[in-house]
Amino acid sequence: MAPPVVLIVGSLHYDIMVEAPHLPRKDETAVGTRWFPKFGGKGGNQALAVARAGGHSRMFGAIGNDDFGLYMRAALQAGRVQDDFVAILAGVPSGISVAIVDAQGDYAATIVSGANLHINAAVLQDDAVWQDVALLVLQNEVPEEVNIAAALQARARGIRTVLNAAPTRALAPDLIALVDLLIVNAVEAEMMGANTVCCLHSAADAARHLAAKFESVIVTAGSKGLAAVAPDDTVLTLPAQKVELLSSHGAGDAFIGTLCSALVQGVALDQAATIASHAAALHVSRPNA
């Protein structure tokens, strides 16, 4: 029997990382200390995280026919992610992001979506895309019509759908109805209507608020930990593991990829969240993670 596959439909970005003593204020030109390229995009990062956690990962997305695209495809292949359904688009630049990381490990980023806005959702009707898939993972860095098309295919095939609703945007009711597990951070939860998240108790309140629309919810609260509401309305809170923060960039993607890798292996949500929280803690404590 073939192992279960996690299908990630989402973004691929060539990240330009800049290290600086502090994040620039409005109208300020800050002086950085170094920069380096990095594979990115929430979709791509989550696909790599699934594979890194020992899962079988398949990426569905698009890149440009350029050097950035070549870099990203090589990174997927090196990370043992199936890339047969990553389209190479002529005349469209690859997606990029520029992220600044300060001395405390906090960051701010800007993305330019490029090829990610031109994903051909019709290809999702191909049965080969879904071969052995046990879980679908979506984010908000691609057009919503792509997410809806993927979620419709997943529902028709009896496959559960995870949505990482980042960056935050209004979600169509058609998509909300197709999501089995919503994952957001504290800021995203607040932007979706929850009260301020400042501790585990308030994170649990935020998860309960969002669970009115979604079957299951996880709200991650950075150094505080996370809260989750399971399908049976059980509420879980999990304090964060104490580590030295070097960079929070990509921590959420490490969490989601590890979580999904565990879920397709039949691990219960609470245990999968514990495993994923540990992976995120390791991620933020590694240099240049």
187-213 confidence digits (pLDDT tens): 999 999 999 999 999 999 999 999 999
pLDDT at residue 287 is higher than 80: no
The pLDDT tens digits for 53-98 are 999 999 999 999 999 999 999 999 999 999 999 999 999 999 999 9
Alpha-carbon distance of 215 to 232, in angstroms, equals 9
Closest by CA position to 11, among listed 108, 109, 100, 102: 109
Spell out the domains of the chain, with CATH numbers in brackets: 5-10+41-85+117-179+241-284 (3.40.1190.20)
Give the model's pLDDT for residue 246.
52
The pTM score is 0.92
| Residue 118, phi-psi category: left (phi > 0), alpha (psi -120 to 50), beta (remainder) | alpha
Residue with tokens 């490029």: 114
**Residue 182: which pLDDT band, with cuts at 50, 70 and 90?**
very high
Alpha-carbon distance of 234 to 211, in angstroms, equals 11
